[in-house]
Copies of this chain bind each other. A is one copy, B any other.
Amino acid sequence: MKLSDRQEKIIDLVRVGQPVTSVALADKLGVTRAALRADLAILTMIGTLDARPKVGYVYSDKPKRNLLLDYISDIKVSEIMSKPAVISESTMVYDAIVYLFLNDVGTVFVENNGNLVGAASRKDFLKISIGGTDIHKVPVGIIMTRMPNIICGRADDSAYEIASKIIEHEIDSIPIVETLKVDGDKEQYKIIGKVSKTNITKLFVKMGKSK
């Protein structure tokens, strides 16, 4: 962001003399307090300055961060998730890999009667494929990562929360689920979408796109 010369001067004055009151700033810059109001509002909003009541302005080294966090936290998973590729537990590994290629995804999710039970990634498939196993005879249920060892997300999570989970747990793709109650109190997870690093990267590009 381009700050004006006066805004840069204000930052310099605060940095060396903090805390500095708006009266002192106006005096040093040879302008009225009213003339400074807009500049000070902008500098505090973007987080470069902190306004301390009855003390003055202090320098704060976290420019633009708050605005970004607010913006990122406003975006919900439901806005960025895409359609998941889903197969059944009895699908043979070879067929699951073909399905992976046909859908051009990095992870397939595994369902059993509408209940999410597992996930298998390119990495899992590559590992089994080079191991000498006959992948035409092994069902995906044998090699997949099984619930509850799968990190799930919700449609109303923020994009930021999901991205953090992806990085923290070093996973490629997170299934987005709804919880269903069956047989009284047993819980099932219905998969309604997925968010991968691709979705986050797309969002990043969209954020930066100027109209």
Copies in the complex: 2
- A62's nearest neighbour on chain B, judged by CB, is B211
1/0 contact string of A49-83 vs chain B (CB within 8 Å):
00000000000001011111111110000000000
Q: Which of A74-126 contact B (CB under 8 A)?
A: 94, 97, 100-101, 106, 122-123, 125-126
> Which segment of A13-21, A141-149, A193-201 sits at the interface?
A193-201
A interface, over-half SS: helix
The answer on a CB contact under 8 Å between B163 and A67 is: no
**Complexed CA–CA distance, A24 and B205 (Å):** 38
Contacts of A34 in B (CB 8 A): 34, 37
The answer on a CB contact under 8 Å between A69 and B210 is: yes
The interface size of chain A toward B, counting residues with CB under 8 Å, comes to 54
Q: Which of A186-210 contact B (CB under 8 A)?
A: 196-198, 200-205, 207-210
Contacts of A167 in B (CB 8 A): 198, 201-202, 205
Instruction: Give chain B nearest CB distance to A79 CB in angstroms.
Output: 15
Contacts of A197 in B (CB 8 A): 196-198, 200-201
1/0 contact string of A144-185 vs chain B (CB within 8 Å):
000000000000000010011011000000000000000000
**Complexed CA–CA distance, A45 and B48 (Å):** 15
**Complexed CA–CA distance, A4 and B78 (Å):** 27
**Complexed CA–CA distance, A127 and B106 (Å):** 13
5 shortest interchain CB distances as A-B pairs: A38-B41, A197-B197, A129-B129, A72-B208, A160-B208
- Sampled A-B contacts (29; CB under 8 Å): A1-B67, A1-B71, A2-B70, A34-B34, A39-B41, A41-B42, A65-B207, A67-B67, A68-B208, A69-B209, A72-B208, A94-B130, A101-B127, A106-B122, A129-B129, A129-B130, A160-B204, A160-B205, A163-B201, A163-B205, A164-B205, A164-B208, A167-B198, A167-B201, A196-B197, A197-B198, A197-B200, A200-B201, A200-B204
